[in-house]
């Protein structure tokens, strides 16, 4: 116990009992999969944002006091501008490395939001939000909203024409809110738009309030991951009662630690080579100018797209009070529906499934056709709105009429998600059927054999047990069924109507399904010689999932995924 | 396939589901069996960390060697040199550490047990007991007046922060100022941003001019005033211009002035197609027909752009006849009250 | 010039600049007003004659003999030499296909022919003349004033740095990066197609020159690296997904893959 390291460890342990924590955490097991790193991209780009952001605060002046520019950028010399804009120019052009840090910060913000979305997609499509992780899904969802707030408050800070027009749009949306809209606008701007209070206020929101909340929730998010241990993909040996992977120390210290540097490095590479948000091109904010191609950063684009698609006729006046539904619907109702559906989905699905057990083995997306199709349709709706927000650039780049694009997208917003839902669901069911086919008959071998009788058959290679397990490990989920309305004594029971509604929802989720091959089916397929004949349906199954007693499972034939 | 044969023989007793077959056999990496491959991997890791060291040196050298300077080219050079140095310094460490973990550290997967998160019934019962004891000790259930006092004081105290905050945060809270602009009878129309007054005779057909009121810069809050008062001035062939009923004297010889602030959400409506007389908002493509009272013909806006009544003064300069007769810009709840 | 450089940061500089600009504006304005008449009279009658022949052969089908206009195309009486120089000099005229708008394409005539056509049209009625080299010289303009004016008058269609943008019904405002200073000036002066007219009252000739000074600096090297088209956040977002997330997903797959 004489080495300095040992002495330090001894010092710390005597005061904190650190030894127990090290023993507990150093060998903690995490499963290995590339898709588990998506959330890490978000975490590391956030750390990158903190580092580069701290650098920027040393030079940025959050003030709307008017100054006259006299720096090196010729096109702006002698132009009057806010100190916020002037200091942005100064830190870009006169602080060595300042432009690099600014571009690192902005690219990191775009990557942060992109990785949050992809991470959420992974969690959604694999069902990682199921019990016991519903709360962590809500925490992650809140982080998404906070990320939007961080981005919006951040790119508005330089006080340039582009973001200033974005703020003006926000003001217009805020004013549209019935009863309190005008007061909301005064609340935000400290008086009339644009006022002189906004930039200092946004600065506080951007560097203290929102990052503080994000930091706290990221801590909670990770704590809950450690608490429940990480999910894992299905595979041989993996169950809901174990976690299979590599220990935190040394493997994940090296892999995850290294990945932080890779994320920061890729962002630095982008900042070195690709210009982002050149505010000197837009000029300082002034309420009169506007540039063609005025759009927000990509993660807010869906809102701008929704505003563009909405026909104007729906502004209504009731008793001389104006309700601009042409603004409220696209800017509040549509995103409200999208986000509420996203946040509430785990609870809705659990209700429809009637399942109260913990799940730690992930779903393969094909095995949950409704969920996968629903997720894809949400994404498609989001994408249609993003396209709508880019309609002027699509028009110029593809030589189309902006009016035609708008009309097509107005219809596409309704048709495309519905079509995507149906196509995705069909594809999932088809993939499941293919899984069944492969389990029952093996891989196609490519060899054709001719019998003496003249019959040709293709030789199939049977699956080994590990290959088979991947395709049969999932539980068949059947729609909940309603118990009779009257009990044995003929008394109408309470809650029958609620059960009926729940069963209807459950059918929506699980009526169309393909069930995994059972040992009996495999045995039958081997003994019959001829294929494609399924044994009769399992009849009178008791409740598969641990739902309420009043609901029993549907007994429709498996494989009947019409 | 003896498995399957067995299955067939015992088809009656088959389980409903397949059994988890347990872990697959471990496959060794080349480096685990070949010391030379192992050594080679180590060299690569060392080389990657060396790249990082060189990157840092390059970044520091670039900091001193390439000041941003005065031109776009020198700024770009400075940004590129420092950025590449930074990127290599970071990517070297990152790829080195990952390659180390992948090729040299153990790749044997281990399994850890999971335990249900739920507390055992015993612990739950104890927790409930602790809470009950505490509640009994404080006698909160019986002392209803005390309970009410605690709840009320806790509910009220945030007002000490909220009231001053809300009182101050909205400035003067005079939302009625949305309905006024600085235009009044006789205010000259001047060019934006240089502030030159405009003679009616100088406005040609097919032109558009962004206009601000004279004296804008002398007001207390020029940007706030400009955000409401900015106007576009256009001259149309009088044969094309459909004069709106009741607005016969709001235009002067085919010269009309409309608010530049979109009635949708407030972007500047500035994009003018002189052949079609259409004004577009570049933000959301609301399209207004200037020849017909700036009514909406496409896009998300509902209302026509408010028209500023104009005339000429004795010197021939264009002046406003009054303020706008309706609130400019986006709709709000009490717009018409 | 040293004096200028030393006093550029002076507090009074903008005021001085403004004064100079105003003086210059007045001066140039005084010079320019009688210009059309001068242009019309200096063109030789031979040039007008050859212009008329070219016009009859190439333009009269649509614009009518004597350029008085038909149902297919407007009258050119009084449009001036500047309009002809712009329309023919950028290849827009003679128009080929019918579409939402007539687009720039390879120029059909040589410089002498364009001058002759311009002289002929100018002889039909007074209109704006082709600007002189001085009038469009970017070096004599102030890019800062130019930027302020460009932002207010041009950016809404042509984008903040002149990269171009969309109009309604398939029409568009083209990129200005390849446009010559003379054509920029003529476009402002004559308002071709959808573009509005910017006469002396809206933009004085000095102000037009300032705008030309600003535009001529755009479309080149950018301080931050590749410009990504200078079309704003949409292309930045696209590149963030394609390059940034693309590289990071690649790295994630590499990290997650088993080593051989």
| pLDDT tens digits for range A74-126 | 999 999 999 999 999 999 999 999 999 999 999 999 999 999 999 999 999 99
Q: What is the pLDDT of residue A531?
A: 43
Residues C87, C164: one domain? no
pLDDT band at A445 (very low <50, low <70, confident <90, very high): confident
Contacts of A204 in chain B (CB under 8 A): none
For A180, residues 6+ apart whose C-beta sits below 8 A from its C-beta are B333
Residues 142-181 of A with CB under 8 A from C: 161-162
If one counts the domains in chain A, the total is: 2
Residues A347, A448: one domain? no
CA angle B82, B86, B87 (to 5 degrees): 115
Interface confidence, given as ipTM, is: 0.93
Tell me, what DSSP letter sits at residue C40?
Answer: H
Q: What is the pLDDT of residue B267?
A: 95
Residues C76, C115: one domain? yes
| CA nearest to A260 within chain C | C248
In this structure, is residue C236 part of a structural domain?
no
Residues A213, A323: one domain? yes
In this structure, is residue C233 part of a structural domain?
no
The residue out of A335, A363, A391 marking a domain boundary is A363
Flag if A291 and C236 touch (Cβ within 8 Å). no
Average pLDDT on A489-515 reads: 90
pLDDT band at A444 (very low <50, low <70, confident <90, very high): confident
pLDDT band at A452 (very low <50, low <70, confident <90, very high): confident
For A438, residues 6+ apart whose C-beta sits below 8 A from its C-beta are A463, A471
pLDDT of C38 higher than 90: no
Residues A206, A312: one domain? yes
Residues of chain B with pLDDT under 70: 1-12
pLDDT of C42 higher than 70: no
CB nearest B79 (choices: C149, C225, C260): C225
Q: What sign does the dihedral A373-A376-A382-A385 (CA atoms) show? A: negative
In this structure, is residue C211 part of a structural domain?
yes
Q: What is the pLDDT of residue A562?
A: 41
Please state, in angstroms and rounded to a whole number, the distance separating the CA atoms of residues A66 and A80: 6
Cross-strand bridge partners of residue B258: B232, B307
- What percentage of chain A has pLDDT greater than the value 90? 82
Residues A341, A470: one domain? no
Residues C124, C157: one domain? no
- What percentage of chain C has pLDDT greater than the value 90? 61
Residues A339, A464: one domain? no
The residue out of C92, C112, C130 marking a domain boundary is C130
Specify the higher pLDDT residue, A532 or B300. Answer: B300
DSSP letters for A484-552: PSB-TTSPBPTTHHHHHHHHHHHHHHHSS--PPPPHHHHHHHHHHSS-SPPPPPP-SPPPSSS--TTEE
Residues C119, C140: one domain? no
Average pLDDT on A229-255 reads: 93
Contacts of A401 in chain C (CB under 8 A): 100, 168-170
Residues A305, A206: one domain? yes
In angstroms, the separation between the Cα of residue A255 and the nearest Cα of chain C is 7
Flag if C165 and B270 touch (Cβ within 8 Å). no
Query: Mutate which of B40, B48, B102, B108 to test chain C, going by most C C-beta atoms within 10 A?
Result: B102
Q: Decide if B3 touches A, using CB distance below 8 A.
A: yes
Flag if A111 and C166 touch (Cβ within 8 Å). no
Grouping H, G, I as helix, E, B as strand and the rest as coil, residue A193 is coil
Q: Decide if A263 touches C, using CB distance below 8 A.
A: yes
Flag if A275 and C231 touch (Cβ within 8 Å). no
Contacts of A391 in chain B (CB under 8 A): 285
CB nearest B265 (choices: A97, A169, A242): A169
Query: Mutate which of C25, C36, C154, C199 to test chain B, going by most B C-beta atoms within 10 A?
Result: C199
Q: What is the pLDDT of residue A527?
A: 77
| CA nearest to B80 within chain A | A272
pLDDT band at A24 (very low <50, low <70, confident <90, very high): confident
Q: What is the pLDDT of residue A555?
A: 44
Residues A439, A326: one domain? no
Q: Decide if B43 touches A, using CB distance below 8 A.
A: no
CB pairs under 8 A between A and C: 209
In this structure, is residue C111 part of a structural domain?
yes
Residues C119, C188: one domain? no
Residues 127-156 of C with CB under 8 A from A: 143-144, 146-148, 151-152, 155-156
Q: Decide if B54 touches A, using CB distance below 8 A.
A: no
Neighbours of A547 (CB within 10 A): 21
Flag if B208 and C199 touch (Cβ within 8 Å). no
Average pLDDT on A215-228 reads: 96
Q: What is the pLDDT of residue C3?
A: 54
Residues C126, C154: one domain? no
Flag if B335 and A322 touch (Cβ within 8 Å). yes
For the domain that residue A90 is a member of, what is the CATH number? 1.20.810.10
In this structure, is residue C194 part of a structural domain?
yes
Residues A145, A52: one domain? yes
Residues C91, C164: one domain? no
If one counts the domains in chain C, the total is: 2
Average pLDDT on A389-411 reads: 95
Tokens of C65: 């003999």
Residues C186, C211: one domain? yes
CB B220 within 8 A of CB B327: no
pLDDT band at C17 (very low <50, low <70, confident <90, very high): low
Q: Decide if A121 touches C, using CB distance below 8 A.
A: no
Please, what is the end-to-end C-alpha distance for chain B in angstroms? Answer: 85
Contacts of A263 in chain C (CB under 8 A): 248, 251
Cross-strand bridge partners of residue C226: A274
pLDDT of C69 higher than 90: no
Q: Decide if C148 touches B, using CB distance below 8 A.
A: yes
Q: What is the pLDDT of residues B226-243, one digit of tens each?
A: 999 999 999 999 889 999
In this structure, is residue A418 part of a structural domain?
no
CB nearest C245 (choices: A74, A79, A115): A115
The residue out of C96, C130, C164 marking a domain boundary is C130
Domain hosting A472: range is: 425-553
Q: What is the pLDDT of residue C35?
A: 42
The residue out of A363, A379, A407 marking a domain boundary is A363
Contacts of C197 in chain B (CB under 8 A): 204-207, 274
Q: What is the pLDDT of residues A194-203, one digit of tens each?
A: 999 999 999 9
Mean pLDDT of the residues in chain A: 91
Mean pLDDT of the residues in chain C: 86
Q: What is the pLDDT of residues A4-17, one digit of tens each?
A: 999 999 999 999 99
Grouping H, G, I as helix, E, B as strand and the rest as coil, residue C163 is coil
Tracing tokens 């309305």 back to the chain, one arrives at A485
Residues A355, A436: one domain? no
Please, what is the end-to-end C-alpha distance for chain A in angstroms? Answer: 71
Please state, in angstroms and rounded to a whole number, the distance separating the CA atoms of residues A330 and C159: 26
In this structure, is residue C157 part of a structural domain?
yes
Contacts of C221 in chain B (CB under 8 A): 72-73, 76
Q: What is the pLDDT of residue C130?
A: 93
Q: Are strands B310-312 and B307-308 parallel, antiparallel or unpaired?
A: unpaired
In this structure, is residue C197 part of a structural domain?
yes
CB nearest A96 (choices: B20, B63, B106): B63
Residues C152, C110: one domain? no
In this structure, is residue A383 part of a structural domain?
no
For the domain that residue C139 is a member of, what is the CATH number? 1.10.760.10
In this structure, is residue A15 part of a structural domain?
no
Q: What is the pLDDT of residues A42-58, one digit of tens each?
A: 999 999 999 999 999 99
Q: Decide if C246 touches A, using CB distance below 8 A.
A: no
Domain hosting C77: range is: 35-130
Average pLDDT on C76-103 reads: 89
Residues 158-187 of C with CB under 8 A from A: 158-161, 163-170, 172-173
DSSP letters for C61-78: HHH-GGG---SSS---TT
| CA nearest to A170 within chain B | B265
pLDDT of A559 higher than 90: no
CB nearest A291 (choices: C155, C235, C238): C155
Contacts of B212 in chain A (CB under 8 A): 288
Flag if C157 and B271 touch (Cβ within 8 Å). yes
Residues A177, A310: one domain? yes
CB A359 within 8 A of CB A127: yes
Flag if C167 and B272 touch (Cβ within 8 Å). no
pLDDT band at C43 (very low <50, low <70, confident <90, very high): low
Query: Mutate which of C104, C145, C255 to test chain A, going by most A C-beta atoms within 10 A?
Result: C255
Flag if B333 and A259 touch (Cβ within 8 Å). no
CA dihedral A261, A264, A266, A267 (to 10 degrees): 180
Neighbours of C252 (CB within 10 A): 24
Q: What sign does the dihedral A164-A165-A170-A171 (CA atoms) show? A: positive
pLDDT of C11 higher than 70: no
| CA nearest to A305 within chain B | B284
The residue out of C103, C130, C157 marking a domain boundary is C130
Query: Mutate which of C17, C145, C155, C160 to test chain A, going by most A C-beta atoms within 10 A?
Result: C160
Flag if B172 and A191 touch (Cβ within 8 Å). yes
In this prediction the pTM is 0.91
What are the angstrom distances between the C-alpha of B78 and each of B72, B89, C80, C217, C221?
A: 10, 17, 49, 20, 13
In this structure, is residue A514 part of a structural domain?
yes
Q: Decide if A270 touches C, using CB distance below 8 A.
A: yes
Tokens of A157: 């800070």
CB nearest C259 (choices: B102, B194, B282): B102
In this structure, is residue C113 part of a structural domain?
yes
Contacts of C194 in chain A (CB under 8 A): none
CB nearest B285 (choices: A240, A327, A402): A402
Flag if A395 and C152 touch (Cβ within 8 Å). no
Please state, in angstroms and rounded to a whole number, the distance separating the CA atoms of residues C153 and C155: 6
Tracing tokens 């997650």 back to the chain, one arrives at C256
In this structure, is residue A405 part of a structural domain?
no
Q: What is the pLDDT of residue A474?
A: 93
CB nearest C237 (choices: A68, A110, A278): A110
Q: What is the pLDDT of residues C169-226, one digit of tens each?
A: 999 999 999 999 999 999 999 999 999 999 888 899 999 999 999 999 999 999 999 9
In this structure, is residue A79 part of a structural domain?
yes
Q: What is the pLDDT of residues C115-164, one digit of tens each?
A: 999 999 999 988 899 999 999 999 999 999 999 999 999 999 999 999 99
């Amino acid at each position: 116990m004489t080495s300095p390291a040992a002495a330090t460890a001894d010092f710390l342990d005597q005061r904190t009992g650190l030894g127990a924590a090290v023993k507990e955490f150093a060998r903690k097991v995490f499963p290995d999969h590339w898709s588990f790193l998506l959330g890490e991209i978000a975490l590391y780009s956030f750390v990158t944002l903190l580092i580069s952001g701290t650098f920027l605060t040393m030079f940025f002046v959050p003030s709307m006091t008017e100054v006259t520019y006299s720096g090196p950028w010729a096109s702006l010399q002698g132009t009057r501008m806010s100190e916020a804009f002037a200091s942005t120019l100064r830190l870009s052009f006169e602080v060595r490395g300042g432009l690099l840090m600014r571009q690192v910060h902005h690219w990191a913000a775009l990557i942060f939001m992109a990785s949050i979305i992809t991470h959420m997609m992974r969690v959604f499509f694999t069902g990682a939000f199921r019990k016991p992780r519903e709360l962590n899904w809500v925490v992650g969802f809140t982080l998404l909203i906070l990320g939007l707030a961080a981005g919006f408050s951040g790119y508005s800070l330089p006080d340039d024409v582009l973001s200033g027009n974005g703020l003006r749009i926000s003001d217009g949306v805020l004013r549209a809110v019935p009863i309190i809209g005008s007061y909301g606008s005064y609340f935000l701007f400290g008086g009339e738009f644009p006022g002189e209070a906004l930039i200092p206020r946004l600065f506080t929101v951007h560097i203290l309030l929102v990052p503080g909340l994000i930091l706290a929730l990221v801590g909670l998010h990770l704590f809950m991951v450690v608490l429940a241990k990480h999910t894992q993909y299905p595979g041989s040996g993996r169950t809901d009662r174990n976690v299979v992977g590599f220990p935190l120390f040394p493997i994940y210290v090296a892999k995850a630690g290294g990945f932080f540097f890779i994320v920061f490095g890729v962002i630095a590479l982008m900042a070195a080579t690709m210009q982002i948000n050149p505010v000197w091109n837009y000029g300082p904010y002034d309420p009169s100018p506007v540039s063609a191609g005025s759009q927000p950063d990509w993660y807010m684009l869906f809102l701008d797209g929704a505003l563009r698609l909405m026909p104007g006729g729906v502004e209504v006046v009731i008793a001389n009070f104006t309700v601009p539904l042409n603004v409220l619907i696209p800017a509040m109702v549509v995103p409200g529906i999208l986000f509420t559906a996203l946040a509430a989905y785990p609870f809705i699905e659990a209700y429809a499934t009637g399942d109260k057990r913990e799940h730690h083995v992930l779903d393969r997306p094909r095995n949950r056709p409704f969920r996968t199709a629903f997720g894809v349709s949400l994404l498609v709706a989001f994408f249609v709105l993003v396209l709508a927000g880019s309609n002027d650039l699509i028009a110029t780049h593809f030589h189309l009429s902006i009016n035609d694009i708008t009309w097509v997208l107005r219809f596409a917003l309704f048709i495309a998600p519905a079509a995507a839902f149906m196509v995705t669901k069909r594809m999932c069911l088809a993939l499941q059927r293919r899984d069944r086919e492969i389990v029952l008959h093996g891989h196609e071998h490519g060899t054709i054999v001719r019998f003496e009788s003249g019959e040709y058959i293709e030789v199939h290679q049977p699956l080994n047990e590990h290959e088979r397990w991947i395709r049969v490990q999932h539980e068949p989920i059947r729609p909940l069924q309603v118990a009779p309305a009257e009990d044995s004594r003929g008394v109408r029971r309470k809650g029958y109507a609620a059960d009926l509604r729940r069963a209807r929802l459950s059918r929506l989720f699980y009526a169309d399904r393909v069930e995994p091959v059972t040992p009996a089916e495999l045995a039958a397929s081997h003994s019959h010689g001829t294929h494609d004949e399924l044994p009769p349906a399992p009849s009178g199954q008791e409740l598969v999932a641990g739902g309420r007693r009043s609901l029993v499972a549907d007994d429709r034939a498996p494989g009947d995924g019409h | 396939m003896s498995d399957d044969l067995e299955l067939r023989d015992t088809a009656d007793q088959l389980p409903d589901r397949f059994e988890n077959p347990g872990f697959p056999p471990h496959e060794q990496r080349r480096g685990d069996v070949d010391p030379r491959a192992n050594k080679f991997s180590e060299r690569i890791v060392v080389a990657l960390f060396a790249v990082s060291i060189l990157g840092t040196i390059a970044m520091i050298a670039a900091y001193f060697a390439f000041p941003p300077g005065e031109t776009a080219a020198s700024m770009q050079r400075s940004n590129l040199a420092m950025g590449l140095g930074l990127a290599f310094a970071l990517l070297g460490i990152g790829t080195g550490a990952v390659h180390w973990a992948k090729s040299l550290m153990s790749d044997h997967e281990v399994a850890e047990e999971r335990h249900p998160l739920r507390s055992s019934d015993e612990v739950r019962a104890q927790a409930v007991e602790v809470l009950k004891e505490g509640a009994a000790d404080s006698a909160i259930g019986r002392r209803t007046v005390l309970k009410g006092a605690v709840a009320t004081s806790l509910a009220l105290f945030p007002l000490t922060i909220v009231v001053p905050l809300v009182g101050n945060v909205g400035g003067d809270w005079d939302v009625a100022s949305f309905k006024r602009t600085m235009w009044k009878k006789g205010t000259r129309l001047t060019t934006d941003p240089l502030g030159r007054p405009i003679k009616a005779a100088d406005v040609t057909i097919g032109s558009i001019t962004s206009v601000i009121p004279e004296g804008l810069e002398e007001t207390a809050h020029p940007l706030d005033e400009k955000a409401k008062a900015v106007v576009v001035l256009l001259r149309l062939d009088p044969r094309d211009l459909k004069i709106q009923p009741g607005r016969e004297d709001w235009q002067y010889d085919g010269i009309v002035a409309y608010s530049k602030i979109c009635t949708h959400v407030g972007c500047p409506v500035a994009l003018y197609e002189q052949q079609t007389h259409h004004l577009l908002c570049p933000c959301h493509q609301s399209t207004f027909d200037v020849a017909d009272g700036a009514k909406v013909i496409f896009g998300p806006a509902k209302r026509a752009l408010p028209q500023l009544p104009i005339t000429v003064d004795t010197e021939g300069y264009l002046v406003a006849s009054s303020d706008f007769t309706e609130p400019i810009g986006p709709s709000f709840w009490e717009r018409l009250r | 010039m040293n004096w200028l450089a030393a006093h550029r940061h002076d507090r009074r500089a903008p005021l001085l600049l403004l004064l100079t600009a105003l003086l210059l504006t007045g001066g140039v304005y005084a010079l320019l007003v009688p210009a059309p008449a001068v242009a019309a009279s200096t063109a030789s009658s031979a040039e007008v004659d050859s212009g008329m022949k070219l016009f009859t052969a190439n333009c009269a089908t649509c614009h009518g003999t004597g350029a008085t206009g038909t149902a297919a195309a407007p009258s050119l009486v009084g449009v001036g030499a500047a309009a002809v120089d712009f329309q023919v000099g950028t290849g827009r005229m003679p128009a080929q296909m019918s579409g939402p708008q007539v687009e720039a394409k390879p120029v059909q005539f040589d410089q002498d022919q364009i001058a002759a056509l311009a002289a002929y049209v100018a002889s039909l009625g007074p209109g704006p003349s082709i600007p002189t080299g001085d009038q469009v010289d970017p070096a004599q303009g102030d890019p800062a004033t130019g930027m302020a004016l460009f932002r207010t008058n041009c950016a809404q269609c042509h984008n903040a740095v002149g990269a171009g943008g969309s109009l309604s019904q398939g029409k568009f405002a083209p990129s200005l990066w390849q446009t010559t200073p003379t054509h920029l000036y003529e476009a402002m002066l004559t308002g071709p197609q959808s573009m509005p007219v910017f006469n002396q009252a809206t933009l004085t000739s000095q102000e037009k020159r300032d705008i030309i000074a600003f535009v001529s600096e755009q479309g080149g090297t950018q301080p931050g690296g590749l410009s990504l088209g200078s079309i704003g956040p949409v292309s930045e977002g696209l590149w963030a997904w394609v390059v940034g997330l693309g590289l990071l997903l690649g790295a994630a797959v590499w990290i997650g893959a088993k080593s051989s």
